[in-house]
Structure 1
Amino acid sequence: MARITVVGGTGYAGGNIVREAAQRGHEVTAISRKAPADKTRGVTYVEVDVLDSAALAAALEGADVIVGALSPRGALEGKMAGVAKDLADVAQASGTRLGMVGGAGSLLASPNGPTLASGEDFPEEYKPEALEMAGILDDLRASDEALDWFYVSPAANFGAYNPGEHTGTFRIGGDVLIVDDEGNSEISGADFAQAIVDEIEKPAHRRERFSVAY
């Protein structure tokens, strides 16, 4: 059993991770600005403004694994890099493993090809978010070797608009977008969460990005 703290634990990705980890018997803490009305049994909910570095660091004490599952939207727009640095600083200082949930925008459309976010079909309104999360991946790759991190990118069609089902079957890739035989790239929230908790239980990607899709 691991002590897993999910920052952004009430969002779509974070909420799925929290549920999956709790179901597997881990000691789970969900950090968010506001606790949800519908709580997962056995999960500790802590209300923290993640832009308050000191409060965030205090809330992360005692974790074996920290998972950042935040998006640079709303109050966090343009500020996610700073939050990610705070998480990395705490993780490195305490010897805690850090996992970051990113988007699909920084994945390559094909081997040695352009990123999804640089393509003409990528929605313009989501490009700043994709670039910000790509910058966090760059920062992690340039970080001190003492920081044990992993970064996870989902399929292109991932989100509350496409929740899917928990199949327990999916593929793990690297920096290139995973698509099926028909060119679709999808993953359910539950299967994405399973892949992340699998990585926590049996680390296979130290200081690497991996991707998850059907």
Structure 2
Amino acid sequence: MSMRIAVIGATGYLGQHLVDEATARGHQVTSVSRSSGADFTSSDVAQQVVADHVVVLVAVAPRGDMEGKVRPAIAQLAGFASDGGTRLGVVGGAGSLNVAGGGPRLVDTPEFPEAYKAESLEMADVLDDLRANETKLDWFYISPAAGFGGFAPGEKTGSYRLGGDVLLADEKGESFISGADFALAILDEVENRKHVNQRFTAAY
């Protein structure tokens, strides 16, 4: 069934894959990005995006001039989505995943790059906000593998593994997923609704 889906951050690495995958599946996709004049931190833009779509996917990293702005913007979106019955899907980083069942989080390990710590902590706060939300908001939050990003795009294999709050790694201890397959996992969730009001992760 075709759905009206908005992708916020559509011109970014993952955003482009999400637009391509959703379009290939026959969904009606709206690309939302600052480069097209649509700033989702704006209340008017956020309200309109939620009103016009049944699913809103947020693929925006709080880095550069967006640091400190993504968390309140997603909270604002969540308020509109709860009122309008729109499903909100948020893509976070791998930093909030536990490296083992009892922790610690990846972001809290000595090896975690300092350059990515602020954005990782902000997205971890977004997850906390969603989990604490006591409205009727319909949401999911997905974290990628540790080695995910435009620096290592990979190929589309059509397969992936899913996990919960613990970082997934292969038998060699490597944690990776391509942009195309991560988008595949996200659109599968959009269509199949297996992680309602939950965080999950996807990797090979």
- How would you bin the TM-score normalised by the shorter chain? over 0.9
Question: Given the alignment of the two structures, is residue 32 of structure 1 paired with residue 33 of structure 2, yes or no?
Answer: yes
Q: Given the alignment of the two structures, is residue 22 of structure 1 paired with residue 29 of structure 2, yes or no? A: no
- Counterpart of 1:180 in structure 2: which amino acid? D
Letter in 2 for 1:164: G
1:60 shift after superposition: 3.2
Greater helix fraction, Structure 1 or Structure 2: 2
Residues 52-99 of structure 1, C-alpha deviation per residue, up to 9 Å, x if partnerless? 212332233220101111010122111111111111011101000000
1:124-163 correspondence to structure 2 within 5 Å: 124-163=114-153
Q: Give the distance between the partners of 1:89 and 1:146, measured in 2 at CA.
A: 10
Q: Which residue of 1 aligns with 2:84?
A: 94
Question: How far did residue 173 of structure 1 move?
Answer: 0.4
Gaps of 5+ in 1: 36-46
1:64 aligns with 2:19: no
* Offset of residue 145 of structure 1: 4.4
2:174 aligned partner? 184
Query: Secondary structure of the residue that 2:53 maps to in structure 1?
Result: coil
The equivalences for 1:42-57 within 5 A come to: 47-57=37-47
Structure 2 spans left out of the alignment, 5+ residues: none
- Using structure 1 for the length normalisation, give the TM-score: 0.92
Aligned twin of 1:8: 9
How many residue pairs get aligned? The number is 203
Q: Give the TM-score normalised by structure 2.
A: 0.97
Find the counterpart in structure 1 of residue 95 from structure 2.
105
Moved more, 8-17 or 54-63: 54-63
Residue identity matched to 1:6: V
RMSD: 0.9
Q: Residue 48 of structure 1 contacts residue 56 of structure 1 at CA under 8 Å; is this kept in 2?
A: no
The match for 1:175 among 157, 160, 165 is 165
Alignment of 1:196 with 2:189, yes or no, is no
Letter in 2 for 1:5: A
Output the CA distance in 1 between the equivalents of 2:63 and 2:116. Answer: 10
After the TM superposition, which parts of structure 1 deviate over 4 Å for at least 4 consecutive aligned residues?
none
- Amino acid of the structure 2 residue aligned with 1:178: L
Residue 81 in structure 1 maps to residue 71 in structure 2: yes
Shift of 1:51: 2.4
* Cα offset, 1:160, TM superposition: 0.4
Give yes or no for contact 2:50–2:86 (8 Å, CA) kept in 1.
Answer: no
